[in-house]
Amino acid sequence: MTLNQKLLLGSGASASLILFGGITGYLAAGGYLTDVIGKDAVMSILVLGTALGVALALGIGLMVSRSISGAIKRAVGGLADSTTQVSAASSQVASASQSLAEGASAAAAAIEETSSSLEEMSSTTKKALDNSTFMTKTGDITFALMKSSHRSLRETDACMKRIGESGAEAAKIIKTSDEIAFQINLLALNAAVEAARAGEAGAGFAVVAEEVRNLAMRSAEAARNTESIIGEMTREIKEGMALVAKTLEEFYKMGDEGKKTNALIKEIDSVMEQQAQGIEQINRAIAEIDRITQQSAANAEETASAAEELSAQAAQMESLVTGIDSIIGGGVGGVLTVRL
Amino acid sequence: MTEDKIKALDDKIRQSEGREGKYLTFVLAGEEYGIGILKVREIIGMMTITTVPQTPSYVKGVINLRGKVIPVMDLRLKFNMQAMEYTERTCIIVVEITGPARKIPMGIVVDSVSEVLNIKSSDIEETPNFGSKLETDYILGMAKTGDGVKILLDIDKVLNDEELTALERSA
Amino acid sequence: MDNEKLSSLVDRMASDFLFLNAREFDIPSAGGLLNVLEDITATADQIQLTPARRVGVAMNHLLEQFIMDKVGDRAAGFELLEGGISLLQEIVHDCLQKAGYEDDGRIDGYLASIGGLTGFRPAETQDATEKAEGAKEEQTPTTTAVSLQEQDEGLLRDFITESFEYIEQIEVNILNLEQNPEDKEFINAIFRPFHSIKGVASFLNLDNIRDISHSLENLLDKARNDELRVSPPIIDVILDGADALKSLIGQVRDVLDGKASAGEADDLTELLDRIHKLDRGVETTPAARLVGEILLEDGMITKDALNAGLKASAEKPGKKLGETLIAEGLATPKQVTRALRKQAEQITDTTTIRVDTRKLDDMIDMVGELVITQSMIEQDIGNQLTTDRNFMRNIAQLFRITSGLQRVTTSLRMIPIKQSFQRMSRLIRDLAKDSGKLIAVELVGEDTEIDRNMVDEIYTPLVHLVRNAVDHGLETPAERLAAGKTEKGRIVLKAYHRGGNIVIEIADDGRGLNREKILQKAIRNNLIHDGEGLSDQEIYRMILLPGLSTAERVTDVSGRGVGMDVVKQAVDKLRGKIDIFSSPGVGTTFTTSFPLTMAIIDGMIVKVGSQRYILPTTAIRQALRPARESFTNVVGRGETIDAMGRLLPLVRLGELFNIETRHKAPWEAIVVVVEGDGRTKGLMVDEILGKAEVVIKSLGEGIKNVRGIAGGAILGDGQIGLIIDPEGLFALSESSS
């Protein structure tokens, strides 16, 4: 059993004896006496009980503390020493921490600056990348469009050819109908000849023959007109077909160039992407650095403040030690004083 | 009796207006010609002509007209005009020329046939002197019509007389 | 029979009359009635129906008065006419029903009333029968003159002018009718003027004029109603009639002008007889000739014999001419029966119709085209692999019909050779008479048919052969008797078909050909050197060579120096053949063979450049592709080819006809050895396309007689190929080289 424990036991036992006495008294008196003699009488009993208890406790305590104060005196002296040492050390720590915190702070500021520059760069790169991606996409779309327009062109060409063929077919039909008209014309003329030979009897028939001939002529005329129109059409179709062929040829050239452009754009795009990725990595690294720096600064700060706290505590301890020393009676005060 | 007299009178009138009537017109080297319709038997498109050797150049040969063999003359060549390649418009007019015994069918090749025209005697003028282009003997007259002048041919004279005998001589 | 005819005539008159009325009763309608009335009177006369005749004559007078406008009371006259017609109807009706008319005096009453109106004296009619009988012969100038004086001169003058115009019309139209005997228009055109002349002549009492025009009018009426065919005799008689009318009318005019005292009148009996004969002959036996005529024409009997027979026949009425001829020994029963059979055939000829040959040719042309079209369709069907059975069956049927049609059309032109044989037998008879020889002619196979056009073509060579047989073949009766033969020589004309040809044999039983004489003459004329190794046939054939006539003397019948080579040429021209068989003392037979028709030719189609030509197969000897060595070019003389063991002149057809040929060298081309006109040449063509039977067509009147070309033919594809005439071609090649 240590001193303090003995102390504590002693004081505690005394206190608890006092308390016990008091309480027992109180309780006994309070409950029982209230019933027997009245309240005022109980109160007066209580105060007399307490005062008796305290006086008993103090007496016991004084005897216990006279027994342990020597040991304490020796402990306080050691304490005063180490407190002094702690105080010195903590002052050193505090100052070092202070300068550390200051450095970290400066680094953090620099990193901040870098980071923001990087941020800016990253966003530009991103924008460039976005553009290049868009361009690639546009290139693809262009290519797809080119393909489809090529198809359309091819179809146009085929269509033109078909129209041309139909035109030729129509021309053939027109030729046939012209031929038929010619034959009808001949027939009508023959009919007119026959009618004329029939004399008066053929007069009516001659009129019919003439009508038929007129119709044949008109039909031939119509056929001729149609023929010329079809001829014109055929010619224009031919022209159109030539144009389509030319366009196709140019289109093929354009397609080739487009393909090249597209490839280049893709290349650029991929380079840009790599670049963006690099920047991103840098960004992330800087952020890490920044974080660490911040943490260091915070740590330094904390250390400094802890050191100061420590030094403050040391000072307080010194004073406490002095206090104790004075309580116990000297010897150590000097130390404390030196220390403080 | 009176009827006969009227008839005789009619005949006379008809004779004086003998050229009036219907004509089949056709084109030859850009010029319009006419043949009296009663001389025409029929008009046919061009068909294969079998050449007959030992005949004048204007005798193109013979054709098969529904089983009948009929000689064909090229009127261009007959009139000493430039020969022309036959087209699909080229026609053969089968005419009946008056032979010594009976009517002789004969084909004439023309550039194209035009129409049957009724020509009034008042529209027919005497043949002006042509120079050497066409023997005026062949021509009945010149008919003025709405769209120009038609040369009315006496096809009998064109293909008959000395021509036929010449044909036989050459034959 | 005649009662009925009378009844129908009366009915016709009645119905004609129904449409008339008194006021409009003019000359033409009166004339019409007059015509019918005349027929009625004549018929009544024929059947001796006196009541009808009496009424008819009276009405006739009344009508004539009407026409001459001498009836005062026209209405009464018209009523009288009506009464007369009903009287006639009654008489005729009674005759038909009650077998006789009972005269109750009404006729006399009627006649009296006509007399009252016109001064008609019924007494005149009493001898009408005699007058009608004698009317035709009785025409004397005096009657003409007398009657003329009674006529109104104006009327007569008009009649004369009109009649001359009418006759002119008749003359014009009769010529047309001769060209187109079937044309009713022309018959009508002649009928009408005759009718008009008759009508007027009748009321002008120009009886002879009326009689002639009336007879001719009847004749024409029959022709118009197809009861009679317009034949050359009819045309002749009409022309003669017109002439007679002209002269009669001329006489009338002369009398009017007082120029001639109406002198002698022409004898019109003969003309009227002819007209009536034609008229009647047709009525009983249409278009038939009399037995006597047939016999005469066939040379069975002579004209003298016929006349004798006719005379004998006339003496014994009831006996027919044929019987008489046999009885009198003028003809054999065989000849008479044959003639009778022919007569019967002629009557059955009415089932035939005459068709214009041009129409026939057109039809044959059309059928030719049909056949060509058919073969084209045949090809098309072959290309199409149609399986429609119904269609195929119908097509097959169509093809059968087409080929049948083609057969029929080709046979349309065919006629029996009979006519030619008859002409020749007549000729033989005439020649026999001239030369004093006795000849019997025998005809065999007269019904053998041959193309109508061939008939005329073969006639000339046949006549030549017949003449030769009569003149040289047969001996005189004396010679024959001396040779122990019958006095009468015999010539047999025989025709038959063999292998698409008609063979005509002319055989005599004369002295036969003199082999030695022919041989000598041939040697003398440098035709041959000697008779070594020549068969009899070959020697006999020599008489067909130019300048070899064996006759010692030149007669007017044959042997005029032209000889038999003319026959040979003519036969060759007709693509025929001639063979001679002869044995001395027994006779000579000339066997000629001709294609049935000149219209079809068996030919080889050859190609020269783009042109096709047809070579007559009969002219082709051989076709070959010559070896290079066989060709020689004799400078200045021409090219030759060694073929058939001879050097033949080479004729380049392309060069001759100015055609671009495919082959230039003869050894690349084909050479056809062609014979013609006794010459043989090699004809160079590009290729031979095949054989074909083609219908020969003229190249048209415009270009006939092209040298070297015999005509054109329509080939299987409808195009025309020209037919080569080898002789003409040879001549052409010689003149051009």
pLDDT for B171: 39
User: Chain C residue with minimal CA distance to B62?
Assistant: C699
Sign of CA dihedral C31, C35, C40, C41: positive
Whole-number Cα distances in Å, C23 to A106, C73, C116: 165, 11, 21
**C486 vs C456: which has the higher pLDDT:** C486
Whole-number Cα distances in Å, B140 to B26, B37, B93, B164: 15, 14, 18, 20
Q: Which residues have a Cβ under 8 Å from the Cβ of A89 and sit 6 or more positions away? A: A310
User: Chain A residue with minimal CA distance to B115?
Assistant: A189
Instruction: Specify whether C66 is located in the same domain as C131.
Output: yes
* Residues on chain A touching B116 (C-beta within 8 angstroms): 189, 192-193, 196, 206, 209-210, 213
Name the residue with tokens 């004339």.
Answer: C31
Q: Which of C537, C570, C595 is the last residue of a domain?
A: C595
Question: Number of CB pairs < 8 Å for B and C?
Answer: 94
B92: enclosing H helix or E strand:
strand B91-98
Q: Within a domain: residue C677? A: yes
Report yes or no: C298 and C339 within 8 Å, Cβ to Cβ.
yes
Report yes or no: C509 and C484 within 8 Å, Cβ to Cβ.
no
With an 8 Å Cβ cutoff, are C703 and B48 in contact?
no
Report yes or no: C75 and C22 within 8 Å, Cβ to Cβ.
yes
Report yes or no: C83 and C8 within 8 Å, Cβ to Cβ.
no
Whole-number Cα distances in Å, A228 to A168, A174, C108: 12, 10, 99
Provide the CATH number for the domain around residue C541. 3.30.565.10
**C69-73, C444-448, C710-714 — which is least confidently predicted?**
C69-73
Closest CA relative to residue B19, chosen from B130, B127, B141: B141
Digit-coded pLDDT (tens) for C524-561: 777 777 767 778 878 888 888 776 655 544 444 444 44
Q: Which two tokens stand for residue A75?
A: 């402990």
Say if residue C124's pLDDT is above 60: no
Q: Which two tokens stand for residue C546?
A: 């130019």
Instruction: Specify whether C368 is located in the same domain as C335.
Output: no
In DSSP terms, B69 is beta-bridged to B64
Q: Does B4 touch chain C (CB under 8 A)?
A: yes
Q: Within a domain: residue C645? A: yes
Digit-coded pLDDT (tens) for C333-390: 666 666 666 665 555 455 667 778 788 888 888 888 888 888 788 777 777 776 778 8
| Pairwise CA distance, residues C645 & A90, whole Å | 160
Provide the CATH number for the domain around residue C707. 2.30.30.40
Provide the CATH number for the domain around residue C301. 1.20.120.160
Instruction: Specify whether C294 is located in the same domain as C386.
Output: no
* Residues on chain C touching B54 (C-beta within 8 angstroms): 657, 706-709, 732
Cα-based torsion angle of the residue sequence C270, C273, C274, C276 in order, rounded to the nearest 10 degrees: 160
Instruction: Specify whether C98 is located in the same domain as C155.
Output: no
Count of C-beta atoms within a 10 Å radius of residue C466: 25
Name the residue with tokens 């016990």.
Answer: A20
Instruction: Specify whether C327 is located in the same domain as C420.
Output: no
* Residues on chain C touching B168 (C-beta within 8 angstroms): 704-705
Name the residue with tokens 């042109």.
Answer: C611
Say if residue B94's pLDDT is above 90: yes
- Whether A contacts C, i.e. 3 or more CB pairs less than 8 A apart, is no
User: Chain A residue with minimal CA distance to B89?
Assistant: A182
Q: Which residues have a Cβ under 8 Å from the Cβ of A217 and sit 6 or more positions away? A: A181, A185
Q: Within a domain: residue C352? A: no
Q: Which two tokens stand for residue A209?
A: 């023959």
pLDDT for C556: 41
Report yes or no: C38 and C202 within 8 Å, Cβ to Cβ.
yes
DSSP state of C702: G
DSSP state of C349: G
pLDDT for C589: 92
| Pairwise CA distance, residues C135 & C131, whole Å | 6
Q: Give the structural domain span for C394.
A: 357-413
Report yes or no: B76 and B92 within 8 Å, Cβ to Cβ.
no
- Tens of each residue's pLDDT in chain A, 340 residues: 555 555 556 666 666 666 666 666 666 655 666 666 667 776 787 788 778 878 888 888 777 776 777 777 777 777 778 877 877 887 787 788 778 878 877 888 888 888 788 888 878 888 888 888 888 888 788 878 888 888 888 888 888 888 888 888 888 888 888 888 888 888 888 888 888 888 778 888 888 888 888 888 888 888 888 888 888 888 888 888 888 888 888 888 887 888 888 888 888 888 888 888 888 888 888 888 888 888 887 887 788 777 777 778 777 877 877 777 777 665 444 444 444 4
With an 8 Å Cβ cutoff, are C700 and B55 in contact?
no
Q: Within a domain: residue C351? A: no
Q: Does B55 touch chain C (CB under 8 A)?
A: yes
Distance of CA C10 to the CA centre of its chain: 40
pLDDT for A13: 64
| Pairwise CA distance, residues C430 & C424, whole Å | 10
Sign of CA dihedral A281, A286, A292, A295: negative
Task: State the greatest distance between any 2 C-alpha atoms of chain C, in Å, as a whole number.
Answer: 117
| Pairwise CA distance, residues A140 & C137, whole Å | 134
Say if residue B110's pLDDT is above 70: yes
Q: Which of C162, C702, C705 sits opposite B71 (nearest CB)?
A: C702
Å between B34 CA and nearest CA of chain C: 21
**A239 vs C35: which has the higher pLDDT:** A239
Name the residue with tokens 């097959």.
Answer: C396
| Pairwise CA distance, residues A123 & A117, whole Å | 10
Q: Within a domain: residue C613? A: yes
Q: Which two tokens stand for residue C653?
A: 């057809």
* Residues on chain B touching A189 (C-beta within 8 angstroms): 24, 43, 113, 115-116
Say if residue C703's pLDDT is above 80: no
Whole-number Cα distances in Å, A118 to A40, A114, A224, A281, A290: 87, 6, 82, 11, 13
DSSP string, C550-590: --SS--SSS-SSSTTHHHHHHHHHTT-EEEEEEETTTEEEE
* Residues on chain C touching B51 (C-beta within 8 angstroms): 611, 659
Helices (H), A28-38: 34-37
In DSSP terms, C682 is beta-bridged to C650, C673
DSSP state of A31: I
Instruction: Specify whether C65 is located in the same domain as C195.
Output: no
Q: Which of C99, C115, C138 is the last residue of a domain?
A: C138
Closest CA relative to residue C214, chosen from C136, C147, C130: C136
DSSP state of C719: -
Q: To 5 degrees, how large is the angle CA C327–CA C332–CA C334?
A: 125
DSSP state of C473: I
Q: Which of C555, C575, C595 is the last residue of a domain?
A: C595
Distance of CA C276 to the CA centre of its chain: 22
Sign of CA dihedral A64, A69, A70, A74: positive
| Pairwise CA distance, residues C157 & C652, whole Å | 78
Instruction: Specify whether C397 is located in the same domain as C428.
Output: no
Q: Where are the beta strands (DSSP E) in C399-438?
A: 414-416
Digit-coded pLDDT (tens) for C206-236: 888 888 888 888 888 888 777 777 777 787 7
Whole-number Cα distances in Å, C482 to B81, C439, C486: 80, 17, 10
Q: Which two tokens stand for residue A14?
A: 């005394």
> Count H helices, E strands: chain C?
26, 18
Confidence of residue B74 (pLDDT cuts 50, 70, 90): very high
Confidence of residue C6 (pLDDT cuts 50, 70, 90): confident
Instruction: Specify whether C194 is located in the same domain as C326.
Output: yes
A171: enclosing H helix or E strand:
helix A39-197
Count of C-beta atoms within a 10 Å radius of residue C282: 19
Instruction: Specify whether C14 is located in the same domain as C120.
Output: yes
Is the entire prediction scored with pTM above 0.90?
no
With an 8 Å Cβ cutoff, are C701 and B99 in contact?
yes
| Burial status of residue C300 (CB atoms within 10 A of its CB: 0-12, 13-18, 19 or more) | buried
With an 8 Å Cβ cutoff, are C162 and B1 in contact?
yes
Q: Which of C368, C701, C703 sits opposite B52 (nearest CB)?
A: C703
- Bridge-based pairing of strands C414-416 and B112-119 is unpaired
| Pairwise CA distance, residues C331 & C310, whole Å | 13
Q: How many domains does chain C have?
A: 5
- Bridge-based pairing of strands C439-444 and C638-643 is unpaired
Q: Within a domain: residue C568? A: yes
Q: Which of C362, C707, C720 sits opposite B63 (nearest CB)?
A: C720
Instruction: Specify whether C406 is located in the same domain as C495.
Output: no
In DSSP terms, C176 is beta-bridged to none
User: Chain B residue with minimal CA distance to C733?
Assistant: B54
Q: Within a domain: residue C532? A: yes
Instruction: Specify whether C397 is located in the same domain as C447.
Output: no
- Work out the end-to-end distance of chain B between its first and last CA atoms, rounded to an integer number of angstroms: 51
Is residue C651 helix, strand or coil?
strand
Say if residue B15's pLDDT is above 80: no
Is residue C262 helix, strand or coil?
coil
| Pairwise CA distance, residues C35 & C60, whole Å | 9
- Bridge-based pairing of strands C501-508 and C489-498 is antiparallel
Instruction: Specify whether C172 is located in the same domain as C37.
Output: no
| Pairwise CA distance, residues A149 & A159, whole Å | 14
Q: Which two tokens stand for residue C691?
A: 């054989």
Angle at which helix C50-67 crosses helix C184-203, to 10 degrees, equals 90
| Burial status of residue B106 (CB atoms within 10 A of its CB: 0-12, 13-18, 19 or more) | buried
| Pairwise CA distance, residues C372 & C716, whole Å | 6
| Pairwise CA distance, residues A66 & A15, whole Å | 17
DSSP string, chain B: -HHHHHHHHHHHHHHHTTT-EEEEEEEETTEEEEEEGGGEEEEEE----B--TTS-TTEEEEEEETTEEEEEEEHHHHTTPPP----TT-EEEEEEEE-SSSEEEEEEEESEEEEEEEE-GGGEEPPPP-TTSS-GGGEEEEEEETTEEEEEE-HHHHHSTHHHHHHHHH-
Digit-coded pLDDT (tens) for C235-268: 778 888 888 888 888 888 887 777 655 445 556 7
Q: Within a domain: residue C40? A: yes
Q: Which residues have a Cβ under 8 Å from the Cβ of C81 and sit 6 or more positions away? A: C17, C33, C59, C62, C63, C66
Report yes or no: C28 and C20 within 8 Å, Cβ to Cβ.
no
Phi and psi angles of residue C491, each rounded to the nearest 5 degrees, phi first: -125, 125
